[in-house]
Each structure stands twice: as C-alpha cells, then as structure tokens.
C-alpha cells in the first residue's frame, strides 16, 4: 500500500476527538496561506496517511469555500505588504493600493465561513439600494443597523437648494363653518386618551385651525391638513421631526423656511426657534448676476455677504476705484453690481439651505443607481442586457461629483460593469476604499446577490464576480481579530437560490434561500467612521 510520508497522523488521532480530515487540516493550517495551490498542500504537507485517507481529505477540501481562501490570502497580503498610513479617521490603517480578486458564482455563493456574516442585513440593504431609497426608515423597520453610525445630526447648512413655492390661491383659510369646526375639534379630542405626544400635536392643530378660521394668523392651511388624521401623519414625516420629539420646546412648525404663508406638507418644516426667527426676518432674496450672464445666484443679505466675503452695502457706497481693495475690485469685475437687487420670489422658487430630513443619508448608492441626474441607470442597464447583451457600456456609477458634499458617506463602491459571455452574467466592481475585515465581506456577498438578481431578470446564469479595489486596508485596531480569523479553516461553501421570482424591483428578503451555510463564530471588530 502506498503511503504519503511526513508526520505520523495516527499517533495523534488517539489523543484527539477530531475527525481525521479536520485534524489533518489543523496540522497544515499554519502553512496554508503561504501556498497558492491546494494541490501543493496535499503534495508537500501530508501526514503519514494512506492513499484512501488522503483521497477522502482531498475531496473534502475541494468543497471548502474558495471565497474564503481568496479572502484570507488577501488579508495576509495586506498585513505582509501594507504600509501604515494616517487617514481621515483617528485610527491608522495598514494599506496596499490596487488589488483584484475573482469569485466563481456558478459554483457557490461567496458568503464567508471563517466568520459569521449576517446575510439578512446584506439582502435588506441591497433592496434599499434597488428601490433608490436613502432614508433609514426601511432599514430600521427591518432591524438592519448597517447605516446607523452615519446618521446625520440636525443641519441646514449644506449648500443651497432651489425650493418651489406653492401658489397661495390653491388654499383657503378654513373649510369649516364655526359650528362645524368646534364639533370637529372636539371629536378628535375624545380620541387622544393619555398619549402625550398626540395631545401636543392636537393642541397645535386646533390652534392652527382656530387662527385660520378667525384670520388672525395671517396664513392659510391646506385642505389636506384640515383633516386631523392627515395632519398627524404628515407632520411626523416632515424634516427634523426626530429633533422636535427630542427637544419639543425649542423646535416649531415653520412655513417661513419656504417663504410661504401656507401650512402644508410642501411648505412646512420643523425648525429651531432661532432659525425660524432668522427666516422670518430675512424673507427677501437677493439676485446676483455675473457679467458673463451665465450664472445667477440667489441669497438673502446675510448669505450674500458671507459668499462675497465682505459687506455689500459698504462696497456699493465706495465711489472711486482707488478706494477699492484688491478683493473688492475682484467683486466689481465679476459681478454686475447694478443688477443686485431684492425681489420677491414671483417665479415660485427661492433658494434656501438644503434640508436634511430625519435619517436621510442624501444621494448615496441607491439614489444614484435610480436617479443619477434623473437617469434610472439600473432600469436602463437591465433593458440593455436584454436587448444588447454584447454591449461594453453596461456600467452603473454611484460617484456623482456634484453631490458628494450632500452625502452622509461618499460611495466606497463607486461603479460596476456587467458583461454577458455564453449565457453567463459577469460583474466587475471598482471600490475606491475597501475596509477589508468588515466592509468587504458584505460588499462581496451584496454584489454577488445583485448578479444573481440581474441574471434571473435577464434569463441568464450567474458567472463571475470580479472585485477590484483601490485603497485596500485593515485598521490597526482590527489586527488582533484579523489574526484570529486567519487561524480558522473554511467550511464548505454555501449555495443560494432565488424562489418565487417576481422581478428585480419587487424582490423581497423572503425570496432568498441560503443552503448549507456553516460558519465560525462572529468576530467583533471596531468600525471606523
């Protein structure tokens, strides 16, 4: 009988409860990352094992997750070849630049087994992207915490936004006669019970209605808001509602932000009292025209002076060019100051600081997938794959330079491209920044799942996922957990099936069936913001 010589496996088996195959792999574990080929492992590092025992072990290893082997080798390469660098966070990274790893989706699903990875969170985040959603409400509803750490604080100062003002004549003060109004107000009062929040909102609504009826409030209320149930539902969806509930006395329902005399869903927002007062005092807009005539800027006086870096009124009082500073002269050269004037927003638009809605992440991934400058990239790509599968233009970009400052987090996975070959759908992702221990396992599984979905939609089979990364890094405070993961032997790779198919845009989490997934325990690692 033929033997493979090295160490005496049987000598140790009597002292261990491990199965021969498992024990065997633990013996060679320390060398596995130095060897690129599993065959080389078998040829060079075999215990004193019979040919049949070796064949059993060999066949077993071929079932182990190839995604894990690839991933672990990349982790080790970062540690071995990386350079410690500072970054925008308070924690340094060990990083290399420019990597590429490939995952065969036709054989298995690349969900890592060397640490537990929660597929449910990956699925629901992908659904969130596919729907073009940017608000955390859906993720909260499905108990997905992935984006919680990037939740943005109350802030209005993130640049200027053009806001449309509804025409005032679309509204009436109050649709009820006096007797009817009293009856309606009393009817809703009976439903309040002991809910403190609803009592407060009821008092606000009743006060608005009474002032609108009497005409003492100098405003009108939309017909929709004169229905108490609609009012309650919609005011809770307005920007900064969360902050109102946390600091009730310092936030007010305001229509001054929109320079409106109407209270409605489209013209109201929750504002801090000090900002409410600012907008009440500064409802006039200033129109600034460049000499070239190509650009118009709209500011209130305070914002204009801030933009110019000087006091405009003082500048206009200077009569002679020799009185001007170089900065002031540049202003004169750039703008046609005679056209700067105050005006009422007669065109139905004003420029205001951009609102950040509660729990809104801004125009991140899904928004740009579905609304990149009003282009639905995802729908277009699906149609193109169906009608022109040989195209080399099957690209979706999440990187929109003009919107970067409005995003809670600039996209890390910036663009991806599809390719159809022999009935298989391949996908290559370019990721500018790759947190390899935490983010990348999610990214691999997420885009693999996306390939499954698009392939299903286009009557193709999943092919290969190619993951190309720019700055590829490990945070130094993750190293201990990473080293622990490097000691873990992969389990057999799982498979994934999509059932009850009803289209990409109707996809739900209960349609995913993960088969034969076994993993090591979860590894806790710090997340850098």
Do the beta carbons of residue 510 and residue 502 sit within 8 Å?
Answer: no
If you average pLDDT over each of 143-152, 244-253, 293-302, 494-503, which comes out highest?
494-503
Measured CA to CA, the distance from residue 460 to residue 451 in angstroms comes to: 10
pLDDT at 52: 56
Catalytic residue among 174, 412, 427, 458: 412
Do the beta carbons of residue 478 and residue 525 sit within 8 Å?
Answer: yes
> pLDDT-derived band of residue 57, with 50, 70 and 90 as boundaries?
low
In 3D, which of 529, 527, 522 has the Cα closest to residue 119? Answer: 522
Residues 355-398 pLDDT 10s: 777 788 888 999 999 988 878 999 999 999 999 999 999 999 99
Averaged confidence pLDDT in the chain: 78
pLDDT at 177: 65
Q: Is pLDDT of 167 > 80? A: no
Q: What is the mean pLDDT of residues 110-125?
A: 94
User: What angle is formed at CA 442 by the lines to CA 438 and CA 447, rounded to 5 degrees?
Assistant: 145
Torsion angles phi and psi, residue 431, rounded to 5 = -120, 115
Q: Which residues pair with 85 in a beta bridge?
A: 93
pLDDT at 277: 77
Q: Does domain 66-151+361-515 have CATH number 3.30.1340.30?
A: no
Q: Is pLDDT of 332 > 80? A: no
> pLDDT-derived band of residue 143, with 50, 70 and 90 as boundaries?
very high
Q: Is pLDDT of 182 > 50? A: yes
pLDDT at 343: 42
- Other CB atoms within a 10 A radius of the CB of residue 315 amount to 18
- Ranges of each domain in the chain: 3-61, 66-151+361-515, 153-358
pLDDT at 60: 63
Measured CA to CA, the distance from residue 26 to residue 47 in angstroms comes to: 11
Q: Is pLDDT of 145 > 60? A: yes
> pLDDT-derived band of residue 59, with 50, 70 and 90 as boundaries?
low
> pLDDT-derived band of residue 290, with 50, 70 and 90 as boundaries?
low
- Other CB atoms within a 10 A radius of the CB of residue 317 amount to 9
pLDDT at 203: 83
Active site residue 412: yes
> pLDDT-derived band of residue 295, with 50, 70 and 90 as boundaries?
very low
pLDDT above 70 coverage of the chain, percent: 68
pLDDT at 404: 85
> pLDDT-derived band of residue 291, with 50, 70 and 90 as boundaries?
low
**Beta strands of 177-259 (E only): which ranges?**
220-221, 251-254
Which pairing describes strands 461-475 and 424-435: parallel, antiparallel, or unpaired? parallel
Q: What is the pTM of this model?
A: 0.67
More confident residue, 427 or 274: 427
Measured CA to CA, the distance from residue 458 to residue 136 in angstroms comes to: 30
pLDDT at 438: 92
Ramachandran sector of residue 89 (left: φ over 0; alpha: ψ -120 to 50; beta: rest): beta
Q: Is pLDDT of 267 > 50? A: yes
pLDDT at 174: 64
More confident residue, 408 or 495: 495
Do the beta carbons of residue 309 and residue 327 sit within 8 Å?
Answer: yes
Q: Which residues contact 377 (CB under 8 A, 6 or more apart)?
A: 368, 369, 370, 396, 397
pLDDT above 90 coverage of the chain, percent: 36
Residues 9-30 pLDDT 10s: 333 333 333 333 444 444 444 4
DSSP class of 94: E
Cα end-to-end distance, the chain, whole Å: 60
């Amino acid at each position: 009988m033929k033997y493979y010589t090295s160490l005496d496996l049987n000598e140790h088996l009597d002292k261990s409860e491990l199965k021969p195959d498992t024990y065997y792999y633990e013996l060679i574990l320390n060398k596995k990352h130095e060897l690129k080929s599993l065959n080389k492992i078998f040829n060079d590092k075999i215990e004193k094992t019979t040919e049949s025992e070796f064949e059993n072990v060999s066949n077993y290893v071929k079932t182990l997750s190839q995604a894990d082997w690839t991933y672990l080798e990349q982790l080790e390469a970062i540690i071995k070849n990386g350079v410690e660098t500072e970054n925008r966070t308070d924690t340094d990274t060990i990083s290399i630049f420019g990597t590429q790893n490939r995952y065969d989706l036709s054989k298995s699903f690349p969900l890592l087994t060397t640490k537990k990875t929660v597929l449910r969170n990956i699925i629901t985040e992908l659904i969130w992207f596919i729907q073009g959603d940017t608000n955390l409400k859906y993720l909260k509803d499905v108990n997905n915490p992935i984006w919680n750490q990037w939740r943005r604080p109350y802030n209005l100062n993130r640049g200027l936004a053009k806001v449309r003002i509804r025409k005032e004549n679309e509204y009436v003060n109050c649709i009820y006669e006096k007797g009817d109004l009293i009856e309606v107000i009393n009817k809703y009062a009976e439903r309040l019970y002991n809910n403190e929040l609803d009592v407060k909102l009821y008092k606000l609504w009743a006060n608005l209605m009474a002032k609108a009826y009497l005409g003492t409030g100098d405003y009108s209320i939309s017909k929709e808001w004169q229905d108490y149930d609609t009012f309650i539902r919609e005011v809770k969806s307005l920007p900064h509602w969360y902050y109102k509930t946390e600091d009730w006395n310092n936030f007010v329902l305001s229509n001054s932000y929109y320079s409106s005399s109407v209270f409605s869903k489209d013209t109201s927002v929750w504002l801090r009292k000090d900002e409410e007062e600012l907008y009440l005092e500064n409802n006039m807009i200033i129109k600034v025209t460049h000499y070239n005539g190509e650009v118009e800027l709209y500011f209130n006086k305070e914002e204009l002076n801030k933009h110019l870096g000087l006091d405009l009124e003082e500048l206009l009082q200077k009569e002679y060019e020799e009185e001007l500073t170089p900065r002031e002269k540049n202003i004169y050269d750039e703008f046609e100051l005679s056209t700067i004037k105050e005006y009422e927003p007669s065109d139905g638009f004003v420029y205001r600081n951009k609102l950040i809605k509660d729990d809104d992440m801004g125009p991140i991934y899904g928004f740009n997938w579905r609304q990149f400058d009003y282009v639905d990239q995802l729908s277009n790509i699906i149609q193109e794959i169906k009608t022109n599968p040989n195209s080399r233009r099957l690209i979706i970009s999440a990187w929109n330079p003009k919107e970067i400052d409005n995003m809670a987090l600039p996209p890390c996975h910036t663009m991806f491209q599809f390719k159809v070959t022999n009935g298989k759908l391949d996908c290559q992702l370019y990721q500018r920044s790759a947190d390899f221990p935490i983010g990348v396992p999610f990214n691999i599984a997420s885009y693999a799942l996306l390939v499954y979905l698009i392939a299903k939609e286009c009557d193709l089979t999943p092919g290969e996922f190619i993951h190309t990364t720019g700055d590829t890094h490990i945070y130094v405070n993750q190293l201990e957990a990473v080293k622990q993961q490097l000691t873990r032997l992969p389990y057999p790779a799982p498979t994934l099936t999509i059932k009850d198919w009803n289209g990409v845009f109707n996809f739900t989490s209960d349609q995913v069936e993960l088969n034969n997934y076994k993993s090591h325990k979860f590894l806790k690692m710090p997340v850098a913001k």
